[in-house]
Amino acid sequence: MMRDEWGEMLISAWNKAGWINQPSRVGDRIASLIGAAPGTVVMGDTLTIKVYQALASALEINAERRIIVSDNGNFPSDLYTAQGLIESLDRGHELRLCAPEAVEDYLSEEVAVLMLTEVDYRTGRLHDMKALTAKAHAKGIVTVWDLAHSAGALPVHLASAGADFALGCSYKYLNSGPGGPAFIYVAPGLADKIRPVLAGWLGHEDPFAFDLDYRPGAGIERMRVGTPPVLQLTALEASLDIWDLADMNDVRAKSIELSDLFIELVEDGCPDLTLASPRDGRQRGSQVSFRFDHGYAAMQALIERGVIGDFRAPDIMRFGFTPLYIDAEDVRQAASAIGQVMTDRLWDDESYRQRSTVT
């Protein structure tokens, strides 16, 4: 792409190399991993932009209602987006948060939108998308699902679950790299009806007519906004070539096997760590989290020893499992390093307490 397309074709590559259609082409490949039909997913922009688009459209569908329900395990950026949109609309909307286990109790006929992240970014707890979507629809609620920790980690079934909107990033389990583009899904019955709140150039019905007035594109195309990040999309396409060789059910089974082994080994050797994730692998995503009061320092000690997880305030040590390139021996080595750091209190070093910007 860099040498032959951008290096030689320059802007003619938009046509010759198919860059202009890349967001839809790659979107269809993502669709096959998240249980969606072709033509219902498009790539581009960041996850937060896609959350904004979906939530704004969902609120317009239920224009007479004013309540957005989410849970306190949702990723803060999604909640910030909702708060900012509420302030901008200034029509009396309210964001109501509940415990992840209590979502169903918060659903009522006054709720406009249910906005959830399928897998809790802290603990890995997995929501039942199909059941919650059905209960929401029974009360006339539009659903918005964030798949940031689901896509590429476990089987997702958007169409059969009846989800209205979904979105996710590609740089985690889909391996597009830092800053990789996000995707958005809109149910086929809604795609031609919604008004795209971000009326961008490439979401226009005919971008190169250069009309001064906006006309939305057909279906999911209207959810495109700006120029697609071709370098990142090309990296993602290379990753998806690998996904073409894998069955998501096999990936899921291996993920549970590896994470169950990890929990067993860590709990045997580290009594100071408390499991924060569901013990039943079917109830969590492809991550395992432990609580520890000095979790940040302990994680820095582990990173220095080649076990790279991350820390989520106030006390979560989070470890991701990607069965495409992690095996049981990797898990055993990681658990051994964790045992050493904890048993010998290697984390208790002032250098490990110095907080970096990214934790």
Q: Which residues are catalytic?
A: 75, 146, 171-172, 318
75 φ, ψ to 5°? -65, 135
Tell me if residue 230 falls in helix, strand or coil. helix
Upstream peptide bond of 314 is cis (omega within 30 degrees of 0): yes
Side by side, which strands form the sheet with 142-146? 41-43, 183-186, 165-168, 142-146, 111-117, 67-71, 94-98
Where in the chain does DSSP place strands (E)?
A: 41-43, 67-71, 94-98, 111-117, 142-146, 165-168, 183-186, 274-275, 287-291, 310-312, 316-320
- CA distances to 140, 299, 317 from 291, rounded to whole Å, are 38, 11, 6
Cα–Cα distance measured from residue 131 to residue 133, given in angstroms and rounded to the nearest whole number = 6
Indicate the DSSP class of residue 324.
T
**Buried/exposed code over 210-224 (b: 16+ C-beta within 10 A; e: otherwise):** eeeeeebbebbbbbb
Cα–Cα distance measured from residue 330 to residue 332, given in angstroms and rounded to the nearest whole number = 5
**Buried/exposed code over 236-256 (b: 16+ C-beta within 10 A; e: otherwise):** beebbeebeeeebeebbebbb
Diameter of the chain measured on Cα atoms = 68
If 0-12 CB within 10 Å is exposed, 13-18 middle and 19+ buried, where does residue 118 land?
buried
If 0-12 CB within 10 Å is exposed, 13-18 middle and 19+ buried, where does residue 279 land?
exposed
Cα–Cα distance measured from residue 352 to residue 359, given in angstroms and rounded to the nearest whole number = 12
Cα–Cα distance measured from residue 75 to residue 73, given in angstroms and rounded to the nearest whole number = 6
